[in-house]
Amino acid sequence: MADSDDEPITLSSHALSALQEFYGERDAHADKFEKLKAAAEEQHAGAQPLSMDAFTEDWNESQFWYSDETATLLAKQLLDGVREDEVIAVVSAPSVFVALKNLLNTDTTLPKPAKLYLLEHDQRFSVFPEFIFYDFQQPIKLPAHLKGAVDRIICDPPFLSEDCQTKAALTVRWMSRPSSGANSHSSPHPRLIVCTGERMETLVTKLYRSFGACTTTYEPRHARGLSNEFYCYANFECDAWRFRGEEQDKEGREAT
């Protein structure tokens, strides 16, 4: 009797097709990652601007990229008046991070911060040396050197839930450098922008009350649109926005 162990293993056509599809997806993923890495390296060297088109939105991750106009506007507000000893952190807003990278690489007149970090859950962005893995469920599981070390922050919590918003705010508080000396007299410190849904307004203004954050008149736009009304909250006014309540009061006075 022949030893059954010597018989060749065969796969059904269905199993073989599934295996081929698996290897094909794996190879495609590896190829895409290498292309993203090469693009990031070229952009870092100043060879070419990087586009968010290289990163497909994953709706399961609640990813909705800002339009280029919005991302650039928010990036410019983070850079406005920045000093060379200051640190910028971008929390769950990779399109703003890419806009920052492009601005810093293409506009030689802009001041350069000491450090720029991207805190993000999506490992695709690990092609950037500034990437730090971030899970809002573990809001302070971050490198120790970030604690109390960040001067300018933008945060776009991935989910419109009280749990996510509260934990993201904990991250912001943990990272924020305490205001002191000249910083506290010249401008709010840290300089803070939070972008999230309009229906989170009461919670957001409560969570960031100690920072002086208020609802602004600016409404961020997304590249592919978004059904939820989106607000920008900040602890400073600028050419791009005013605090919403004060603007409405001003309009009311002018009308009378």
User: How are beta strands 230-234 and 191-197 bridged, if at all?
Assistant: antiparallel
Per-residue pLDDT of the chain (256 residues; tens, 9 = 90+): 455 555 555 666 776 666 676 556 555 555 665 666 666 665 555 556 788 877 877 766 667 899 999 999 999 999 999 999 999 999 999 999 999 999 999 888 888 999 999 999 999 999 999 999 999 999 999 999 999 999 999 999 999 999 999 999 999 999 999 986 444 445 678 999 999 999 999 999 999 999 999 999 999 999 877 667 899 999 999 999 999 976 554 554 454 4
Given a contact cutoff of 8 angstroms between Cβ atoms, the answer to whether 66 and 222 are in contact is yes
pTM over 0.85: no
Which pLDDT tens digit goes with each residue over 103-159?
Answer: 999 888 888 999 999 999 999 999 999 999 999 999 999 999 999 999 999 999 999
Phi, psi of 252 (to 5 degrees): -65, -40
Q: How far apart are CA 194 and CA 172, in angstroms?
A: 10
DSSP code string of 205-237: HHHTGGGT-EEBS----BTT--SS-EEEEESS-
